Structure 1
């Protein structure tokens, strides 16, 4: 059956959501629609195209060969529509991952971007970890995120663009009765012999664990073995209080009960934070985020590198960093 001359883009969005989630309930929640309405849209698309797009059973949903064939075409159509609307000031909401509610850099950039583009809807999400968020960005479930771009796998970086936003000073979170807790700053050499938690085993944050390994190499500091994956601040605090490992963090990390946060020195390790978005994405919200990031970096010296600052060489290739 030939395709209809006019196809509602809403039907393609419904199809893509189900194709990516392979679950009607999750797809409906993602689109903020009732599951029955989503099912109706998918069935209507199947009727209009004259093909079956999904195999549905009580236990799983899978794409048919026609469904797999439709996925890249649907994405191109929707990307083109988004670009058209953006060009005429009618952009859809931009979904921006801030990793965690307690981290300040992404939140400040987002708030400033909202001031610069008050007519553009910028919606915050919290995916916790750039690797996890990057996969969502590439799949179209998120639009932008923040984190260490150089720590992403090459296959992820290939589909992404980025802009370095800040070199954040790193710190360590210590139990309040730890032997180093009385120090105002902790020299890295003082951590020799310690196991420091840096997200090992968390599939969403390998870029952070890699940064820790590069920092600890040759200094006698070990990356703590994987702990149970804790979702949410309360669970993270509970797990860390039980393991009592120091936690690698940044100076803006939110306080946890019965702990102290101490900046690291000798050298001063820096965590490169980039704004990361899907390559080719045209949206006024991305423009606003990039302007906001550049403005804040210039005003607050976010890209100033201290003489004693430490950054992996791989992170600085091609970056505009000032000493």
Structure 2
């Protein structure tokens, strides 16, 4: 039991209350730490410090669960009101700053991908900020624009960037995205619910070859296909929009390497790849030193969704390049 100090504390740091509220809502220290993108040990220290300052236990902890005590339940509405007031104060003065006034420009690559959910959650977290989406590029192209200051953030395979391009950038692992194959209607593999990689032997699979803005994706495909008898299809005209994509796909008849969250396309079917399950490692990438409340919100939103939905848990029988695996746990 925590020993009660004489009298109530005059001041409680908002950081301690934020840690308490996160654990109260998640009822799980690991998920709460990911949501705040802090180390679990640091979060636990903050909660213990708050308990000492208030002179009471706020949680009952066991190896199986975390439960609020009666005092924890009593504190929760007060803590939420204090944090809401602090956020309102911060937002009011942030509106006048150059950082908050400038929109944050985020490249999501293509409409319909999971990155859009991260952006929408970030917009909810900082409604006073303008977070602008664009849908233009793979990470190689986006990274060069981020480094040059023409773009603020993007998502993609950070390990696939050249070392010189990575140097001015920072990253936060977001998701292991299972990969899939987009098959033209009538393809012999269309009848399968899942496509074993071995069944693609002898196929030419399109993976962005010839597009210098998606080099990280083509490199991932080459690593995946090596030794499996699968060829990377030669360059094809860059199709913009679903109608052009469907026309080019129908003309060339090559399967297309994709991810399971790839939006539906007319005249094609999406099938997950298995045996093994290949993973596309996705990071949030931004320019080192960028200070913007919209970026903070993006990072928090990515951590929340990753923790809630297990985005950083590798499925059984997964494939990922060794270098990517190291970066994703860094």
TM-score, with length taken from structure 1 = 0.70
Which residue of the partner structure matches residue 137 of structure 1? 146
Residue 114 (structure 1) shift: 0.5
Contact 1:180 1:186 survives alignment (8 Å): yes
Question: Quick check: 1:320 aligned with 2:329?
Answer: yes
Which residue of the partner structure matches residue 259 of structure 2? 250
Residue 134 (structure 1) shift: 1.0
TM-score, with length taken from structure 2 = 0.69
Q: CA RMSD in A?
A: 1.7
- CA–CA distance in 2 between the matches of 1:85 and 1:98? 25
Unaligned runs of 5+ in 2: 1-93
**Could you tell me which of 204, 213, 218 is aligned with 2:213?**
204
- CA–CA distance in 2 between the matches of 1:128 and 1:191? 27
Question: Quick check: 1:226 aligned with 2:222?
Answer: no
**Could you tell me which of 271, 275, 298 is aligned with 2:284?**
275
Contact 1:86 1:283 survives alignment (8 Å): no
SS at structure 1 position matched to 2:311: coil
Which residue of the partner structure matches residue 162 of structure 2? 153
Contact 2:99 2:292 survives alignment (8 Å): no
SS at structure 1 position matched to 2:258: strand
- CA–CA distance in 1 between the matches of 2:170 and 2:99? 22
Which residue of the partner structure matches residue 268 of structure 2? 259
Residue 86 (structure 1) shift: 8.5
- CA–CA distance in 1 between the matches of 2:98 and 2:144? 29
SS at structure 1 position matched to 2:173: strand
SS at structure 2 position matched to 1:145: strand
Which residue of the partner structure matches residue 193 of structure 2? 184
- The ranges of structure 1 where at least 4 consecutive aligned residues each deviate by more than 4 angstroms after the TM superposition are 84-89
Distance 1:177 1:290, change over 3 A: same
- CA–CA distance in 2 between the matches of 1:119 and 1:96? 17
Which residue of the partner structure matches residue 193 of structure 1? 202
- CA–CA distance in 1 between the matches of 2:186 and 2:147? 44
Residue 128 (structure 1) shift: 2.2
SS at structure 1 position matched to 2:188: coil
Unaligned runs of 5+ in 1: 1-83
Distance 1:259 1:89, change over 3 A: closer
Pairing 1:1-323 to 2, within 5 Å after superposition: 90-103=100-113, 105-320=114-329
Number of aligned residue pairs: give it. 237
Contact 2:100 2:292 survives alignment (8 Å): no
